[in-house]
């Protein structure tokens, strides 16, 4: 078969029923494509629907319409090359639930000021680098111990450890590439088992934050560059990579990857991304690549 449509639900609620799968199959046929059976990847959670067709975007739109309000995510990929050799993941609001500058600000008692700038930057309403420097400037003079307090607030998104462990078991190289800070990404790298991490560095002198980010700033362009560099280092090309993120600074990276997924993305990101997860957890990225439930590992 030429393409594979994957239908995915939240593992916590297992919403995918045979009736919904039948509705998806009929919608594929109605799009002048030809479906070829159902391959269940995880009962109640995910299945593959291989098909032949010339207009996969039309096919996906018709399937989405047929499924109505069912809380399911859809992805269509070419049948060949679904499993990716590289994972490049944003961290904040993607691998972890938090935005760490907001957490630092809350510890420092200036949350409202910083959170507003964060929201605008992630939505693409402000220049990322300028917004980052402005927010960090508000932390001038704070004790480095605040970083430890904020780090203790980090919690993983559901499926984060499984995503990394499973892709590594499948031979993929996994990198955490964040517009946040190395003092946080280093910890998450260890917890999740990423092969490496890249992020910005806060300047700390005599145990206090100076309010400066050391150059160069890892922003939107640097994330794309990281994807390209990491792919080349693995003897691969960006189309052989899976990338995931939620903010406007992830858009170039998501657009270049063969599987670029907006994970509960901001509206602008959801509108631009070819692939989206709006209902499931991070294991959805594994099902999009054709991994089965019995292949999914936890570190």
Which residues face 208 on adjacent strands?
143, 205
CATH number at residue 178: 3.40.50.1000
Task: Examine the domain organization and report whether 209 and 228 are in the same domain.
Answer: yes
Mean pLDDT of all residues in the chain? 94
- Domain containing 290 equals 84-299
What radius of gyration do the chain's Cα atoms show? 20
Task: Examine the domain organization and report whether 4 and 93 are in the same domain.
Answer: no
**pLDDT value at residue 117:** 80
Q: What totals of helices (H) and strands (E) does the chain contain, helices first? A: 12, 13
CA pair distance 3, 6, nearest whole angstrom: 10
pLDDT tens profile 154-179? 999 999 999 999 999 999 999 999 99
CA pair distance 209, 207, nearest whole angstrom: 7
Nearest CA among 175, 154, 153 for reference residue 164:
175
Local structure of residue 293 (DSSP, 8 states): G
Task: Examine the domain organization and report whether 180 and 208 are in the same domain.
Answer: yes
Overall domain count for the chain: 2
**pLDDT value at residue 9:** 98
Task: Examine the domain organization and report whether 109 and 36 are in the same domain.
Answer: no
Q: With bands split at pLDDT 50, 70 and 90, how would you rate the model's confidence at 5?
A: very high
**pTM for the full predicted model:** 0.94
The Cα angle at residue 69 between residues 265 and 33, in degrees rounded to 5: 90
Local structure of residue 32 (DSSP, 8 states): T
**pLDDT value at residue 47:** 98
Nearest CA among 11, 12, 296 for reference residue 161:
296
CA pair distance 20, 189, nearest whole angstrom: 38
pLDDT(8) > 80: yes
pLDDT tens profile 96-147? 999 998 898 888 788 777 877 888 777 778 788 888 888 899 889 999 899 9
250-258 average pLDDT score: 98
Residue that is last in its domain, among 80, 109, 136 = 80
Task: Examine the domain organization and report whether 69 and 130 are in the same domain.
Answer: no
Task: Examine the domain organization and report whether 3 and 75 are in the same domain.
Answer: yes
Nearest CA among 19, 49, 14, 44 for reference residue 288:
49
How does 217-235 read in b/e, with b if 16+ C-beta sit within 10 Å? bbbbebbbebbbebbeebe
Residue that is last in its domain, among 42, 65, 80 = 80
Task: Examine the domain organization and report whether 158 and 277 are in the same domain.
Answer: yes
**pLDDT value at residue 1:** 65
Task: Examine the domain organization and report whether 274 and 154 are in the same domain.
Answer: yes
CATH number at residue 1: 3.30.70.260
Task: Examine the domain organization and report whether 138 and 38 are in the same domain.
Answer: no
**pLDDT value at residue 127:** 83
Residue that is last in its domain, among 80, 104, 125 = 80
pLDDT tens profile 217-227? 999 999 999 99
CA pair distance 160, 157, nearest whole angstrom: 6
Q: Burial level of 84, CB count in 10 A (0-12/13-18/19+)?
A: buried
Task: Kindly state the tokens that stand for 72.
Answer: 């399911």
35-54 average pLDDT score: 95
Task: Examine the domain organization and report whether 177 and 247 are in the same domain.
Answer: yes
**Alpha helices, DSSP H, located in the chain:** 18-30, 56-67, 100-108, 111-122, 128-137, 145-151, 160-169, 182-192, 220-233, 251-256, 267-272, 284-288
**pLDDT value at residue 268:** 94
Task: Examine the domain organization and report whether 174 and 210 are in the same domain.
Answer: yes
Task: Examine the domain organization and report whether 19 and 122 are in the same domain.
Answer: no
């Amino acid at each position: 078969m030429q393409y594979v449509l994957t239908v995915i639900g939240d593992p916590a609620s297992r919403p995918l029923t045979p009736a919904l799968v039948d509705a998806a199959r009929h919608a594929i046929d109605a799009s002048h494509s030809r479906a070829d059976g159902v391959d269940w990847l995880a009962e109640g959670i995910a299945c593959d629907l291989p098909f032949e067709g010339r207009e996969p975007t039309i096919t996906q739109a018709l399937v989405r319409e047929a499924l109505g309000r069912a809380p399911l995510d859809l992805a269509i990929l070419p049948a060949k090359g679904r499993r990716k050799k590289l994972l490049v993941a944003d961290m904040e609001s993607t691998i972890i639930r938090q935005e760490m500058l907001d957490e630092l600000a809350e510890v420092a008692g200036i949350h409202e000021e910083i959170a507003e700038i964060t929201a605008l930057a992630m939505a693409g309403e402000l220049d990322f680098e300028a917004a980052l420097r402005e927010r960090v400037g508000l932390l001038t003079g704070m004790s480095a111990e605040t970083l430890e307090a904020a780090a203790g607030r980090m919690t993983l998104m559901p499926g984060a450890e499984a995503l990394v462990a499973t892709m590594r078991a499948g031979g993929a190289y996994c990198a955490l590439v964040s517009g946040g800070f190395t003092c946080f990404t280093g910890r998450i790298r260890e917890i999740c088992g990423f092969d490496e991490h890249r992020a910005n560095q806060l300047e700390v002198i005599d145990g206090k934050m100076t309010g400066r980010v050391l150059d160069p700033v890892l922003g939107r362009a640097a994330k794309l560059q990281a994807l390209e560099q990491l792919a080349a280092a693995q003897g691969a090309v960006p189309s052989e990579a899976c990338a995931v993120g939620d903010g406007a600074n992830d858009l170039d990276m998501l657009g270049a990857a063969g599987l670029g997924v907006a994970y509960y993305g901001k509206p602008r990101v959801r509108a631009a991304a070819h692939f989206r997860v709006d209902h499931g957890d991070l294991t959805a990225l594994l099902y999009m690549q054709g991994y089965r439930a019995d292949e999914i590992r936890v570190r």
